């Protein structure tokens, strides 16, 4: 079996990548929430219990669950790789002072692989380093800043740093430096992990590419069609570059639909406002139904051709997915109050585990009831704490293998 195979959004989910939230959440402080892209501080113990319930539901439904932290640790086959990873991690965390680098290399090298990965993810408090002394000018200026290395609290949103597409991945350049560091783990996994390294996995985008692209914006609507959001997190030029590479490769994809969505935090990624739940059913944020523009990117005589689609979202989806009818299921139904509240908690962000079966957050009960009434089976997970990071079940998962449809 190829290590990556994803040609749709809703086929039987076979293997998925998660990250169990860890100490990185305990390093969140009110002062720095905005920069770290959080709106509140989850209670770690309960967040872990909720996350375990998520993983349990997936496993009970035949999905193999693998964890980012395990794969990253298993990628460190020898001491050279370990050193390379730590060095790159430190550089990307903004450490450049030679003396500080040396001390931190020694600090991280003392740990076994799995503990090392947890430590890297958690970040480093000044109090954890015995004899922390001021080295660079920055240390004098940041006197009150409690971290030597920032935590990576968004890691449990495995949807974003890379996306599985056909037998390859797009490895992302993230919009913000806090999230860009996350993609380093994927880089090492595909290069060094025994389950991935031998496959020469195609890269449709790379973290060294110039423009921002995030996985929450990428939805594989069917084996021919990929949707990518032009959003607060994803640049149009990144979509063109990625589309060009995918459309030229040997696979069935022939169209990339670029959805121009509002560039605001509440619309963050395309999957914040639009997910696929069945062959012809989608959840949506009520506000996108009327007013979004979609551009169809195809290859025409070896060059990317762009067509602006001037039609309703329903008609655009019917046309490209060869369907007679599609159902758009509004988050929160017809009540603007329920819609706003449940949208805040990712009511439109569902993870399909097979056609017409999705994982959803318990707190979005209005939307969940509507889904059930429309014939969609919901697997409900607890959601008091996980939702505080502003992502739902789709954001918290990256499919590695799905059945083709």
- Please count the residues of the chain: 405
Complex with ligand CIR: residue 103 or 358, whichever CB lies closer: 358
Q: How far is the CB of 242 from ligand CIR (least distance, A)?
A: 16
Structure tokens at 166: 């056909």
Any catalytic annotation for residue 395? Answer: yes
Q: How far apart are CB 27 and ligand CIR at their closest, in Å? A: 15
Q: How far is the CB of 53 from ligand CIR (least distance, A)?
A: 19
Pick 175 or 193: Cβ nearer ligand CIR: 175
Q: Given the complex with ligand CIR, which of 12 and 387 has the nearer CB atom? A: 387
Residue 119 or 390: the one with the smaller Cβ distance to ligand CIR is 390
Residues that bind ligand CIR (CB under 6 A): 37-38, 154, 157, 159-160, 179, 216, 268-269, 271-272, 389-391, 395
Residue with smaller CB distance to ligand CIR, 272 or 343: 272
Q: Looking at beta carbons only, is 108 or 157 nearer to ligand CIR? A: 157
The answer to whether 270 and 216 are in contact (CB under 8 A) is yes
State the minimum distance, in angstroms, from the CB of residue 68 to ligand CIR: 15
* In the complex, minimum distance from the CB of residue 89 to ligand CIR, in angstroms, rounded to a whole number: 19
* Sign of torsion over alpha carbons 67, 402, 384, 285: positive
Q: Tell me the C-alpha to C-alpha distance, in Å, between residue 172 and each of 55, 116, 148, 158, 187.
A: 25, 23, 25, 12, 10
Instruction: Find the residue with minimal CB distance to ligand CIR.
Output: 216
Instruction: Name which of 79, 82, 80, 74 is nearest 197 in CA terms.
Output: 74
**Shortest Cβ 135–ligand CIR spacing (Å):** 31
Give the shortest CB-154-to-ligand CIR separation in angstroms: 5
Q: Which is nearer to ligand CIR, 332 or 389 (CB)?
A: 389
| Active-site residue, from 79, 242, 318, 395 | 395
User: What are the catalytic residues?
Assistant: 395
């Amino acid at each position: 079996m190829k290590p990556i195979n994803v040609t749709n959004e809703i086929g039987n989910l076979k293997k998925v990548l998660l990250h169990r939230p860890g100490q990185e959440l305990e390093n969140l402080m009110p002062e720095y929430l905005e920069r770290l892209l959080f709106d509140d501080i989850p209670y770690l113990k309960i967040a872990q219990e909720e996350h375990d319930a998520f993983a349990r539901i997936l496993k009970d439904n035949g999905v193999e669950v693998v964890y980012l932290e395990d794969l990253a640790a298993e990628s460190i086959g020898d001491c050279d790789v370990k050193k390379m990873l730590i060095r790159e991690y430190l550089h990307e965390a903004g450490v450049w002072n030679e003396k500080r680098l040396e001390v931190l290399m020694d600090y991280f090298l003392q740990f076994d692989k799995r503990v090392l990965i947890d430590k890297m993810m958690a970040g480093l408090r000044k109090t954890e380093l015995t004899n922390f002394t001021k080295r660079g000018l920055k240390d004098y200026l940041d006197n009150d800043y409690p971290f030597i290395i920032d935590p990576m609290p968004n890691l449990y949103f495995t949807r974003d740093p890379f996306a599985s597409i056909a037998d390859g991945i797009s490895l992302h350049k993230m919009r913000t430096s806090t999230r860009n560091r996350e993609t380093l783990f994927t880089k090492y996994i595909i290069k060094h992990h025994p389950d991935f390294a031998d496959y020469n996995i195609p890269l449709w985008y790379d973290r060294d590419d110039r423009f921002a692209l995030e996985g929450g914006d990428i939805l594989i609507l069917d084996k021919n069609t990929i949707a990518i959001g032009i959003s607060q997190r994803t640049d149009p030029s990144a979509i063109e570059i990625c589309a060009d590479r995918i459309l030229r490769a040997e696979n069935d994809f022939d169209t990339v639909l670029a959805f121009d969505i509002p560039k605001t935090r509440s619309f963050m990624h395309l999957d914040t406002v639009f997910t696929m739940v069945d062959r012809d059913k989608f959840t949506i944020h009520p506000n996108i139904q009327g007013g979004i523009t979609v551009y169809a990117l195809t290859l025409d005589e070896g060059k990317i051709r762009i067509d602006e689609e001037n039609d309703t979202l329903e008609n655009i989806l019917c046309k490209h997915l060869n369907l007679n009818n599609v159902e758009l299921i509004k988050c929160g139904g017809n009540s603007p109050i329920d819609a706003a509240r449940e949208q805040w908690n990712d009511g439109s962000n569902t993870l399909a585990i097979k056609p017409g079966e999705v994982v959803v957050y318990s707190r979005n009960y209005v939307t969940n009831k509507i889904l059930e009434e429309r014939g969609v089976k919901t697997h409900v997970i607890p959601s008091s704490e996980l939702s505080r990071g502003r992502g739902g079940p789709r954001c918290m998962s990256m499919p590695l293998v799905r059945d083709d449809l």
